[in-house]
Amino acid sequence: MIKAPAPSDESLRLQYLREFDILDTPEEEDFNEIVRLASKICNTPISAVTLIDASRQWFKAKVGLDVSETGRDISFCGHTIMNGAIFVVPDATKDERFHDNPLVTGDPDIRFYAGVPLVSGNGGRLGTLCVIDRVPRQLDADQQEVLIVLGRQVSKLMELHKRNLELKRISLLERVQRKELERVSTLQKKMISIMAHDIRGPLHSLKSLLQLIPDKKGLSQSGLFLEMAGNQLNATLSLLDNLVDWGQLQMSTGRPAYARHALHKITKDILEEVSSQAALKGVTLRNLVETGDLLETDENTIRFILRNLVNNSIKFTKAGSINVTATASGQTVEIAVEDTGIGMPPAILEQLFCGMKKVSRKGTKNEVGSGLGLSLVKEFVEKMDGTIQAQSTEGKGTRISVKLPSHYPH
């Protein structure tokens, strides 16, 4: 008996075989049908789909065999994978490689063998499709051709088996990731809720108490501290409002919830929210949006945008005015917030909406800010397929305009 040598790429071949994750798997009817067909066409009582492992040959499908595997050292199929095409042994008793092989001298009494290698897409010879008879014989040309074609079909089935396993793994991973995302989303919503209610509420109450003090400057140094505390509190509330609104908008799924809304009413609500802050600085707020105008928009997003633009104007305006307007033109609507504040130099204007370089300046009453608001405004304007532009003159004021589509596809 002559044992088949190992292929020169044996380590790589075994790696390819492991990637298919098919060894020791249950029977599959697709493979069983092929071995039955091979036996019928070749008129052999035995046929098998054999995979050559490191030290054994394992049968994925078989006809006429009672065992599920045998040793590789006595396998005929080990010789087949060394051959590039069909491998035929007409009479094993007369072949020096097999005449004393236990599979010839004992069960299953092999005399005739024909096998074709199973080749993976990357060229690895993983095993064979073989037919076996207990009497010497030959295959005619048609039978050999059919065996070769069936071998290719087995290889394709194995590739399909591999892809199906990969899809199942991906599906499982997606389910795990989805559960993790749901867990994180729930945690984020809880954090947003805490910021929105448990933190923002007490801060607003403290702000209201500070505003009840009629003349903080008359309280000398204590008044100065109170004014500084009020400014810091306003900045903190502004940042907190932005974070809460941004978090809620980011966690919303799918496209924005576009619907027809009365922009005048939304603007009125926003101006009422900031009216006390504007009054303390002697700033007049004007809602010049027409009462009958309806805007197709996402209400939460437009409120976020308007709140930030108006708050920013109040910060840089003293004893002046702020106008909010809306103008329809063609397929767009321009919403503008224009103030008579201190304006800004060109160097700051150029970086106003730059996400990488957040611009933060102190307001007319030394109000501090994070520089985050306008960057987020730009992000959400672009999310609604809009554009934002700023015009400003030092000492005269600033106009920031947002152009949005007048309607969105449904």
- pLDDT digits over 329-380, tens only? 888 999 999 999 999 898 888 888 775 555 567 777 766 555 567 877 888 8
pLDDT at 115: 97
Distance CA 203, CA 234 (A): 9
pLDDT at 291: 82
Residues shown for the chain? 410
Q: Which domains does the chain have, with CATH numbers?
A: 10-171 (3.30.450.40), 258-405 (3.30.565.10)
Which of 87, 86, 136, 69 is CA-nearest to residue 109?
136
Q: Long-range contacts of range 248-257, CB-CB < 8 Å, 24 or more positions apart?
A: 248/192, 248/300, 249/300, 249/301, 249/304, 249/380, 251/185, 251/188, 251/189, 251/192, 252/300, 256/297, 256/298, 256/301, 256/383, 256/384, 257/298, 257/299, 257/300
Distance CA 79, CA 81 (A): 6
**In this model, does residue 219 exceed pLDDT 60?**
no
Mean pLDDT, all residues of the chain: 84
pLDDT at 348: 84
Cis peptide leading into residue 108 (ω within 30°):
yes
pLDDT (tens digit, 9 = 90+) per residue, 170-203?
988 888 888 888 777 776 666 665 555 555 555 6
pLDDT at 397: 94
Which of 52, 23, 239, 221 is CA-nearest to residue 129?
52
Percent of the chain with pLDDT over 70: 79
Q: What is the pTM of this model?
A: 0.50
pLDDT (tens digit, 9 = 90+) per residue, 294-336?
788 888 788 889 988 998 899 899 889 999 999 988 889 999 9
pLDDT at 258: 80
Distance CA 128, CA 124 (A): 12
Residue 288, both tokens: 């010049």
Q: How confident is the model at residue 207 (pLDDT cuts 50, 70, 90)?
A: low
